[in-house]
Chain A
Amino acid sequence: MSTRSIGQEFTKGLWDENPVFRQLLGLCPTLAVTGWVINGLAMALATTFVLIFSSLVISSIKKLIPAQVRIATFIVVIASFVTIADLFLKAFFYPISEALGPYVPLIVVNCIILGRQEAFSSKNSVGRSFIDALGMSSGFILALLILSSIREILGAGTFLGHQVMGPWFEPWIIMILPPGAFLALGILLGLALHIESKTKSRK
């Protein structure tokens, strides 16, 4: 059982246990779809939907699940919500679904989701699991938003498709290509560690 206050339960996902910057989980979609802000945002929101609903379901049926089949049960629940998210995007946001391609179905294997079920929802109350999922999702949205903003602004000179850089700016195409994802993430991780060590030494 978690001993944090409800507020801490939420904010831990934003920084202390940020899934991308601190836990290094779910890096596949993080790297793959953050070339454009709109794609990063759609991926983060789809993951949020899956994470919140999976946490709600798992935490409410946790007492019924025998430990031996817990992972299989988690995956079935997660896969169901991923399929719903995929169908919903295909039906109502067709262009975005086309752009995200196979990465929406791949949310099933996103370690953040399975990780939260195993580490949190299967041991805590429904309310706490909801707050935890909300915090982790916000942390994920934040990370993807930062990463995709950097990549789109430097790589194409635009933000959400709007021109933000002047005509003098020559786009660094590499930033919207796969290597750009690694470059940007590497620098951000370094920065996160640097900030962390600074705050620790101050304490």
Chain B
Amino acid sequence: MNLYSRMVIVLTSVGLLSGSFLATVGMLTKERIALNIQQEIEEAIAHVIPGTVSSEKLYEEKGLTIYGGKDKDGSLVGFGILASGVGFQDKIALMLGTNTSLTRTKKLKIIEQKETPGLGAKIEDDDAFLIFWENKDCSDSLSLRKPAANTPEELAPMEINTITGATISSESVLKIVNSSLERVRELIKEGTFQIGEQDVN
């Protein structure tokens, strides 16, 4: 056999073999990987909308997904807004829980972030940051309190606390929340997404 045909045969068969091997492994793990991702999202929804037993995806576009959280009777208890944007270091993905009329926040959870450890990474910390996001008036854009307040009570209804030393990370989270809420309000205006008319069964 000449060299050229040997080269082609060896490369092709190695490629085919590993391709089919990978297809098998891919098929075997596909379900579990999808389950892991779904589980992470479901846990996040249950966390940001307290009282949620089951959830349902209501709307999806690039960088924004809206979930509806339902209690054990099947009635809607709130919306979970999964959004992402650019942080100080890398992408930040978060889930915001709101009430059914989208006027009050419930809780915020950071799903993914690679901010500076010890500073920006505090956006994941309940006491340092996330507690200040609970039960806020989100009928319009929220703003940042700087310098930071010490307790949630000191903040105005539409004000969010800054993390001292990590203004950019705090601002990034605020920007993601504000722009995603704005987009949701836009969708409602357009009629693409409706609130208060969800299936209640």
Structural contact, A83 and B22, CB atoms closer than 8 A:
yes
Which of B33, B40, B112, B117 has the largest number of chain A CB atoms within 10 A? B117
Render A39-74 as a binary contact track against B, CB cut-off 8 A, 1 for contact: 000000000000000000000010011101100110
Contact of A90 (CB < 8 Å), options: B3, B10, B29, B119: B29
The CA-CA distance from A189 to B169 in the complex, in Å, is 35
Beta-carbon contact of A87 and B26 below 8 Å: yes
Pick out which of these stretches binds chain A: B13-21, B70-78, B79-87, B156-164: B13-21
**Whole-angstrom distance between the alpha carbons of A173 and B165 in the complex?**
14
By a CB distance below 8 angstroms, the chain A residues around B11 are 69, 72-73, 76
- A9 to B15 CA separation, bound complex (whole angstroms): 31
**How many angstroms from the CA of A68 to the CA of B11 in the assembled complex?**
11
For chain B, the bracket of interface size reads 20 to 34
Bitwise interface map of B from 16 to 53 toward A, beta carbon under 8 Å scored 1, else 0:
00100110011001001100110010000000000000
Does B200 make an interface contact (CB < 8 A)? no
Interchain CB contact under 8 A, B21 and A80: yes
CA distance A17 to B18 in the complex (A): 31
In angstroms, Cα B116 to Cα A173, docked, is 9
Contact between B118 and A171 (Cβ–Cβ < 8 Å)? yes
Cα distance A64–B3 in the bound complex, in angstroms: 11
Interface of A is mostly: helix
Give the residues in chain A near B3, CB-CB below 8 Å.
66, 68
A 69-109 binary contact with B (CB < 8 Å = 1; else 0): 10011001101100110011011101000100000000000
Tell yes or no: A29 within 8 A of B by CB: no
**A65, A66, A80, A171: the one within 8 Å of B22 (CB):** A80
Looking at the assembled complex, report how far the CB atom of B114 sits from the nearest CB atom of chain A, in whole angstroms: 8
Determine if A31 is an interface residue (Cβ-Cβ < 8 Å): no
Contact A92/B10 with A76-B18, A98-B112, A155-B117 known, Cβ cut-off 8 Å = no
Q: How many A-B residue pairs have CB under 8 A?
A: 62
Q: Which partner residue on chain B sits nearest A180 by CB separation?
A: B117
Are A91 and B10 neighbours in the complex by a CB distance under 8 Å? no
Cα A88 to Cα B28 with chains together (Å): 10
| A176 touches B (CB below 8 Å) | yes
The reply on A27 being an interface residue by CB < 8 A is no
Q: Is the CB of A90 within 8 A of B36?
A: yes
- Contact A66 B10, CB 8 Å, known A83-B22, A94-B40, A173-B118: yes
Q: CA A31 – CA B26 in complex, angstroms?
A: 29
Which chain B residue lies CB-closest to A92? B32
A and B contact pairs by CB, cutoff 8 A, 25 listed: A66-B6, A66-B7, A68-B3, A68-B7, A69-B11, A73-B14, A76-B11, A76-B14, A79-B18, A80-B22, A88-B25, A88-B29, A90-B29, A90-B33, A91-B29, A91-B36, A92-B32, A94-B40, A155-B117, A171-B118, A173-B117, A173-B119, A176-B117, A177-B116, A177-B117
- Complex A-B, nearest 4 residue pairs according to Cβ-Cβ distance, in ascending order: A80-B18, A91-B29, A91-B32, A173-B118
Query: Which chain B residues have a beta carbon within 8 Å of chain A's beta carbons?
Result: 3, 6-7, 10-11, 14-15, 18, 21-22, 25-26, 29, 32-33, 36-37, 40, 112, 116-119
